[in-house]
Amino acid sequence: MADIKLEHISKSYPPDVKAVDDVSLHIRDGEFMILLGPSGCGKSTTLRMIAGLESITAGDLYLSGKRANDVDPRDRDLAFVFQNYALYPHMTVQANLSFGLRLRQTPAADIERRVREAAEMLGIGALLDRKPGALSGGQRQRVALGRALVRQPAAFLLDEPLSNLDAKLRAGMRTELVKLHRKLGQTIVHVTHDQVEAMTMGERICIMKDGRIVQVGAPLEVYRNPADTFVASFLATPPMNLLPARVEEEDGGGLAVVHAALRLPVAEAYWAAYAPYRDRPVILGIRPEDMYASAVPGGVAVDLRIVAVEALGPETILVTEFPGGAEVSSRLDRAFVGQAGSPQRLYVVPEQMQLFDPQTTLSIPRSRADLRPDHRSAQLRASPGATLAG
Amino acid sequence: MTVAADRLPSLDRRFGWAMTAPGLLALSLVVLFPLFFAIFTSGFEYTLLHRKYDTFVWLDNYRSIWSEGYLGQSLWVTTTFVVAVVLLEFLIGFTVALMLNAVQRFKDVYYLILLMPLLINPVVVGLIWRMFLHPELGIVNYVLSLLHLGPVNWLGDVRVAFWTVVLVDIWHQVSFMIVLLLAGLASLPREPYEAARMDGASIVQAFFYVTLPLMRPVIVVTLLIRMIFAVKTFDLIFVMTRGGPGTSTDLISYFIYRSAFYGLDLGKASAISVVLLLVVLALTGYLYRYMRSLA
C-alpha cells in the first residue's frame, strides 16, 4: 500500500532540456492513476523518477509519506512493467517471475506458491518452462505483469504496457488490468498515450504536455470540462471541434458566439461570464457528438457542405465544412446517409458549446459553479440535447 | 527474351558460379594447393637436402614426431601459452571493457589509445619490446634499477622468458578482447538491467545474473577466435626468443619452422603442420557450430 506524492518535481538534461517541469501530483493509496499525453510530454520520465530509474533534478518525491528522492529503486518496494516487457531473455518464465523474490531471499515454498498464484491469475501456468523468445507478445506482456505481481509491491508502475499488443489483445488486457486492480486494490500508475486506455481504465487522469501537468481529474470530468484546447483536442477521436469565433452583442442586448454562418446565442446566465470577451475573438469548442443531423430542442441550425462520410459501423463520422473553409466533425447515427459535396444542415445546442481564450488557450469558465467539475457534468446530463444524440 | 519461370533458379545459380569462379580459383591456388601439398609431403621422406618424392613412408613422419619427444614439449608450451594468454587477456579485457562501457567522457580517446598496439605489426611489437627488455640497454631494467630492483634477464632466463612473451602478447592483443567485448556490452539491451534494479538486484548481482548470461555468446566467440590465433602465434617468438632459451618458448608454429629450416626435414615439418591444422580445424568447427546455434 502506498500513496505517492510529487511536489514540484522537475527533470532536466544537460545542457538545458527540461523533460519534466514543476510537476505536483498526489496519487492516493489504492488509486488507478493514468499519466496521459503525447510522446515526449514527460509522462514516462515522471514514472521513471517515481521508480528511481531516473534521478530527480528538483522537487520532492514522497512514498507513503517518506521522502524518497535518494532511495535506491530496490528499496522503494515498487514494481515496474516496461513497455517492451524487459524480460530476462536467458531465463525461463518461472525464473523471470521468481527472480525478484530469490534476490530478496524469500523462502522457496513461498516463491513457489506466489509464482503459481500469479501464473494462474494471468493464465500463463503452461508456459513456466519456456524462455521469453518462445512467447508471443501477449504472453510476454503477461509474464512482465506476473513478475510485478509476485513481488506484491506497494505500488505498480506501468509504462505503456499495452502499446505493443494488437488491438484485440489490448482491449482484453485493458479489462484484465482493471479487474486486477479491483481485486488487489493496489496503487497503480499507468502511463499511456492512448486516450481510450486513459478513459476506460483510470480512476483519475493526469494529462501532461511539454513536461507540465495540464489537467488532473476523473476521466469523464476531464472529457466534459477540458482545461484548455490541448486537452479538448487530445481526448477522444475525433477530437473536439475548435473554431475561431467572436463574441458579439445581439440586437436584444444579449451575447452570441459567432463563427461564419453559425450564430450561437449565449444563455442569460452566462452573460456576465462572457461579457469581458465582447467584440473579441474566442475559440469555440463543440464535441462531435454535440452536433445533430436532425432538429433538437433548443438547437441552432447551420448549413454546411459534406467533405467526407466515414461509416464506422456502430456510428458514422461526418466531416463537413463551413463556407469559410473550417472543417468540423460530427458523430452521427449509423443510419445517416450522405454524399460528399452535397449540402447538409446540422444542429448545435448552444449550452453544449465551450469557449477558450485564444491567447492563453485556457477554458473560459461560464460561472463560479463551472469551476466545480461535477457541476457541469450533471448539468450536461440533464440537458435535452444529450439524450437526443443523432 | 523471356525465360521460363522454373529455369530462373538454375540460371541464377550458374550466374553465381560464374561470378565467384575467379575468386574460388585464386583461393584454391593460394590456400588449397599449399594445404594439400603439405599433406602430400607429410607422407614422404622429403628433406631440403634430398628434394625428391621417391620415398613414400606412409605415417612414419607422424610416428617419429611423437617418438622423438620434442613435439610433446612443444605442445605443452603451446597449451600453457594459449591458456595463459587467452585467460589473462580475457580477464583484463573484460574488466577494461566494463570500465569503458561505463565511461561517459573521452571514450574515443581511451579507445584510440587502447587500439594502438593492435594496429602495430607483430614483428615491430617484438622488436620494440626486445629493445625495451634488453638486459643492459633496455628501459625496463633501467626503470627497475631506479627502484633498486633487478636487473632481470627478461628473454634470456629460462624461468622468465615464457612469461615475458606472454606479457608482450597480452600488451599486443588485449585490445582485441576489449573491442569485441565492449561491442558486446554496448549492444546489450538496457531494459533487463532496469528490470533487475526494480527487482532488487545489486550491481554485483546484476553482473552475475544479467550481464554474464547475456554476454555468454560474445564471450565464447571471442575466446574461441582468440584461441585459434594464439595457437598459431609465430612472429613474436621468431623475433623475440627463437623458441629459447632452450625450448621454454618453443611454440608449435616455431617448432614447425625449426624442423623445416634448421632440421631441413620438410616431411616431418609438414606432418606437424597437419597436426596443428587438425587442432585449429577442431576449434574452428566448434566455433562455427556454436555461432550457427546462436542464429
The answer to whether A151 contacts B199, with C-beta atoms less than 8 Å apart, is: yes
Phi, psi of A6 (to 5 degrees): -105, 125
| Cβ of residue A88 closer than 8 Å to a chain B Cβ | yes
B286 CA: distance to closest CA in chain A (Å)? 22
C-alpha cell at A3: 500513496
Q: Is the pLDDT of residue A367 over 70?
A: no
List, by residue range, all CATH 3.40.50.300 domains of chain A: 4-229
Q: Are A209 and A230 in contact (CB under 8 A)?
A: yes
pLDDT for A325 equals 78
* Average pLDDT over every residue of A109-138: 89
Indicate the burial class of B16 (C-beta count within 10 angstroms; 0-12, 13-18, 19 or more): exposed
pLDDT digits (tens, 9 = 90+) for A265-321: 888 888 888 888 888 999 999 999 999 999 888 888 999 999 999 999 899 999 999
Find the largest Cα–Cα distance for chain B.
86
Average pLDDT over all residues of chain A: 86
Residue B225 lies in a domain: yes
DSSP H helices, A134-218, are 137-150, 167-184, 195-201
Distance of alpha carbon B174 from alpha carbon B176, whole angstroms: 5
* Average pLDDT over every residue of A58-86: 90
C-alpha cell at A49: 523518477
List, by residue range, all CATH 2.40.50.140 domains of chain A: 237-388
DSSP letters for A115-135:
HHHHHHHHT-GGGTTS-GGGS
C-alpha cell at A281: 475573438
Q: Pick from A336, A311, A328: which is nearest to A389 by CA?
A: A336
Count of residues making up chain A: 390
b/e per residue B235-257 (b: at least 16 CB within 10 A): bbbbbbbebbbebbbbbbbbbbb
Give residues with Cβ within 8 angstroms of A142, minimum separation 6.
A122, A123, A124
The answer to whether A52 contacts B197, with C-beta atoms less than 8 Å apart, is: yes
The answer to whether A79 contacts B198, with C-beta atoms less than 8 Å apart, is: yes
**What is the Cα B125 distance to its own chain's centre?**
15
Which residues on chain B are in Cβ contact (under 8 Å) with A51?
Answer: 198
* Residue of higher predicted confidence among A380 and A52: A52
The answer to whether A74 contacts B195, with C-beta atoms less than 8 Å apart, is: no
pLDDT tens, chain B, 295 aa long: 566 667 778 888 899 999 999 999 999 899 889 899 889 888 888 887 777 777 777 787 888 887 877 788 888 899 999 999 999 999 999 999 999 988 888 888 888 888 888 889 989 999 999 999 888 888 888 898 888 887 888 888 888 889 999 999 999 999 889 989 999 998 988 889 999 989 888 889 999 999 999 998 899 889 988 998 998 899 999 998 887 788 888 888 898 898 888 888 888 888 888 988 888 899 889 888 888 887 6
Q: Is the pLDDT of residue A385 over 70?
A: no
DSSP letters for B101-142:
HH--SSHHHHHHHHHHHHHS-HHHHHHHHHHHT-TTT-HHHH
Residue B136 lies in a domain: yes
pLDDT digits (tens, 9 = 90+) for A191-209: 999 888 899 899 999 999 9
* Average pLDDT over every residue of A253-260: 86
Distance of alpha carbon A19 from alpha carbon A212, whole angstroms: 9
Q: Which residue has the cell 522537487?
A: A59
CATH class of A237-388: mainly beta
Give the torsion sign (CA, A121, A126, A130, A133).
Answer: negative
B107 CA: distance to closest CA in chain A (Å)? 18
Is the pTM of the predicted complex or chain greater than 0.80? Answer: no
A171 CA: distance to closest CA in chain B (Å)? 25
The answer to whether A86 contacts B200, with C-beta atoms less than 8 Å apart, is: no
Tally of domains within chain B: 1
pLDDT for A120 equals 86
Q: Which residue has the cell 465544412?
A: A321
Distance of alpha carbon A131 from alpha carbon A82, whole angstroms: 18
Residue B220 lies in a domain: yes
Q: Is the pLDDT of residue A378 over 50?
A: no
**Architecture in CATH for domain A4-229:** 3-Layer(aba) Sandwich (3.40)
Q: Which residue has the cell 478513459?
A: A199
A&B contacts, CB < 8 Å:
57
Strands, sheet with A4-13, edge to edge from the N-terminal-most edge strand: A17-27, A4-13, A58-63, A66-67
Q: Are B292 and B221 in contact (CB under 8 A)?
A: no
Q: Pick from A84, A16, A78, A14: which is nearest to A48 by CA?
A: A78
Residue B14 lies in a domain: no
pLDDT for B56 equals 75
Angle between helices B266-294 and B33-41 (to 10 degrees): 130
pLDDT digits (tens, 9 = 90+) for A205-252: 999 999 999 999 999 999 988 999 999 988 888 899 999 999 998 887
pLDDT for B295 equals 67
Which residues on chain A are in Cβ contact (under 8 Å) with B194?
Answer: 53, 80, 82, 86
pLDDT for B166 equals 93
Distance of alpha carbon A260 from alpha carbon A281, whole angstroms: 13
* Average pLDDT over every residue of A372-387: 38
The whole domain housing B289 covers 20-294
Scan residues 58-87 of A and list those with Cβ closer than 8 Å to B.
73-74, 78-80, 82, 84-87
Of all helices (H) and strands (E), which one includes residue A284? strand A281-286
The CATH number that applies at residue B222 is 1.10.3720.10
ipTM exceeds 0.85, yes or no: no
- Per-residue confidence band for A125, with pLDDT thresholds at 50, 70 and 90: confident
pLDDT for B252 equals 87
A385 CA: distance to closest CA in chain B (Å)? 50
Distance of alpha carbon B140 from alpha carbon B150, whole angstroms: 10
Give the chain A residue nearest B188 (alpha carbons).
A89
